[in-house]
Amino acid sequence: MTIAVYPGSFDPITNGHLDIAERAASLFGTVIIAVYDRPDKNLLFNVEERVALATDAVAGMPNVSVTAFSGLVVDFIRRMKSGVMIRGLRANSDFEREFEMALMNHKLAPDIELVCLMTSARYQFISSSVIKEVARLGGCLDGMVPQHVATALLTKYADYIRDVEKRAARQYNSPIKGA
Ligand code: ADP
């Protein structure tokens, strides 16, 4: 049974990530979503939260599991007794970075094969960073992330949104000077 590892930050997991995981799960016996515990990146959710959100999101996918990892991804893939890394590619934005990383990983571990799956057209515009920006500004996330992820984002940004609303109310309700 071939095990494939799908690593990433998943801050948070989106429907674009889930589409890749689901399609990988139809190609491989087991897919492990590996959530990178990356101390030096400006992340919204800590690693436990990211793992919990992803675990809930794949509850309906029997051969997909979620775990955190730190250190080199190729070392983690070997520890999982896997030889396959999955990545997703969106048009334009991902290729060069993925290519550079793939060459480095191949140098470190030539025995590990990279499988890139092209994004589905309807998820092409979805990235965790855009999702966070939309959530921060109070926009609708329907169809872009699972409901529990949307709730987690809104909870994280609730204070920020309240603050913006208060400032807007002050600005628009204040009497016009000199009128
Ligand atoms: P990283 O910080 O390692 O890029 P991400 O969580 O941003 O982690 O992405 C993990 C993987 O999922 C990457 O290969 C990325 O290109 C892919 N990915 C992210 N969003 C999408 C999407 N909408 N469609 C397809 N692949 C995606």
pLDDT at 175: 66
Distance CA 134, CA 160 (A): 13
Mean pLDDT confidence for 22-32: 98
Q: 66-69 contacts: CB < 8 A, separation 24 or more?
A: 66/32, 66/33, 66/35, 67/32, 67/33, 67/34, 67/35, 68/34, 68/35, 68/36, 68/37, 69/7, 69/34, 69/35, 69/36, 69/37
Using only C-alpha atoms, what is the Rg of the chain? 19
User: How many angstroms does the Cα of residue 88 sit away from the middle of ligand 1?
Assistant: 6
Query: In what order do the strands lie in the sheet containing 64-69?
Result: 64-69, 30-36, 3-8, 84-89, 113-118
Average per-residue pLDDT in the chain? 92
- Using most ligand atoms within 8 A of CB, pick from 90, 95, 114, 141 the residue to mutate for ligand 1: 90
Q: What is the dihedral of CA 43, 118, 69, 130, to 10 degrees?
A: 10
Check pocket membership of 6 for ligand 1, CB cut-off 6 A.
Answer: no
- 38-75 tens-digit pLDDT: 876 689 999 999 999 999 999 999 999 999 999 999 99
Q: Where are the alpha helices (DSSP H) in the chain?
A: 15-27, 47-57, 73-79, 95-108, 128-136, 147-173
- 89-103 tens-digit pLDDT: 998 778 899 999 999
H or E, element range at 114: strand 113-118
Residue 69: phi and psi, rounded to 5, are -145, 160
pLDDT at 42: 82
Q: Of all protein residues, whose CA lies closest to atom 23 belonging to ligand 1?
A: 16
Above pLDDT 70, what percent of the chain?
Answer: 94
pLDDT at 40: 66
